Structure formats: structure tokens, C-alpha cells
Amino acid sequence: SQTIHQWPATLVQPVGSPLSLECTVEGTSNPNLYWYRQAAGRGLQLLFYSVGIGQISSEVPQNLSASRPQDRQFILSSKKLLLSDSGFYLCASEGEQGDGYGYTFGSGTRLTVV
Amino acid sequence: AQKVTQAQTEISVVEKEDVTLDCVYETRDTTYYLFWYKQPPSGELVFLIRRNSFDEQNEISGRYSWNFQKSTSSFNFTITASQVVDSAVYFCALSEALGGTSYGKLTFGQGTILTVHP
């Protein structure tokens, strides 16, 4: 089955500082990759998705960017964090795995911008 | 645009009670998938079920059951004989396929916080 490594688990960053969250996937190849964000007390919102290396689609206008430098690596970045960037960020992978086709979420990064 | 509505923000029950979590969705697609996820306090999303739009059979898995009705665009989730360990946030989600076998982008409801008291 697919395994997603997402780090760090928790992050506290000052306003205006840069951000880099990394997600790597094992157990599949050429997956569709997704970044979701969950604001406090709310549902999950899709931020970016990628269907291949270097291919990034943005779902909502925002202060963040995403990159996919390798097939199973997905990075979420910001040059200058805003208070509104605080939230719980989840990476997801969708692809063929040993027991069929699956959609798997990582364990998430809780980001607090102060 | 796709939309998922979970009208129940919070539900509180006593252990052993049955509880139903409602999910209503909107989509123009004829082929789509519906999901339910459980989010315990640790934050990770635990997959519970996936149902495609052509399969309206109800499903039962242990104490969990799901009722999918295309006529009312609903995909409700029932926990029978609830337990304290069922306390969590539950999300219903609707997919928008990117093509091929992809389930695609998920649109989530706002979630229902379920608290089961001993």
C-alpha cells in the first residue's frame, strides 16, 4: 500500500518567514498528489494538485506555492507567511498500489504562524 | 461546482446509542465517488468507505453502515451501538475525477464532531 511521509509534524513560524513542507510517497509510481489545508474548526480545502513532475494546478488564490521536483515528492512553500496561513496541512497521494488503486493521506503538519 | 453539506456541526450521544451522520452532495458529474473519513484528535484522516455513483447498494461493516440514495443526493453514515472510541470528526467527501482511474480532487463537507459519552 501507499505510504506518505510528511514533515514536520508541528511547526511554529513568525509572520514573514519562509515555509517549506515536504511530502514523499512510497509504494506507488506516477501518483496524483494533493495538498489540502484544514483551518481551525473547518473542513479540508484543496490547495494544489499535481498529475506529474513539474505539473502543478492551483485551486485557490493564496500566498502559497507548490512544486513537484520528483515523481514522488511534493513540496509546499511560501516566501512570506501570513497569519492566515495557519492551519493543518495534509498531503495526499492517489495511485496504483499493491492491493489496487488507493487514495492515501499523510499524517499532516500543524502550522501556527505567530 | 461540487458541494458537500454536513448540516450537523456537532452531535453528542451516550454510549450504545445509534447515531446517523448526514451528508448531502451536489454535482453535475454522472460518474463520481463519495467517501467518508474519520479524523481522531491526532489529526490524520482514517478512510472508512468509498462508494461510486453507480452502486447504490447500502453497505454494512461491523457497527458502521452507509445509506446512499442518488434520488436525494445523500450518503448518510450510521454508527450502531456507539462507543467512546467513535468520538472524532467525521468528514464526507465527493470526488471530481481527473481522468482515467483517478478519483481526483476531493470536496469535503465541513465535518461533524461526534462526541460519545460513557
DSSP A50-96: EEETTEEEESS--S-EEEEEETTEEEEEESS--GGG-EEEEEEEEEE
Q: What b/e readout covers A29-59, taking b as 16+ CB neighbours within 10 angstroms?
A: eebbbbbbbbeeeebbbbbbbbbeeeebeee
Instruction: Report chain B residues whose CB lies below 8 A from the CB of A90.
Output: 45
Q: Which amino acid is at B57?
A: Q
Test the B interface: residue of A3, A29, A94, A103 with most B CBs within 10 Å: A103
Instruction: Report chain A residues whose CB lies below 8 A from the CB of B42.
Output: 107
Q: Mind listing the pLDDT tens digit of every residue in chain A (114 residues)?
A: 788 999 999 999 999 999 999 999 998 888 999 999 998 777 899 999 999 999 999 988 778 999 999 999 999 999 999 999 999 999 999 887 666 677 889 999 999 999
Share of chain B above pLDDT 90, in %: 68
CA distance B37 to chain A (A): 10
Instruction: Report chain A residues whose CB lies below 8 A from the CB of B103.
Output: 94, 101, 103
The Cα A77–Cα A72 span in angstroms is 17
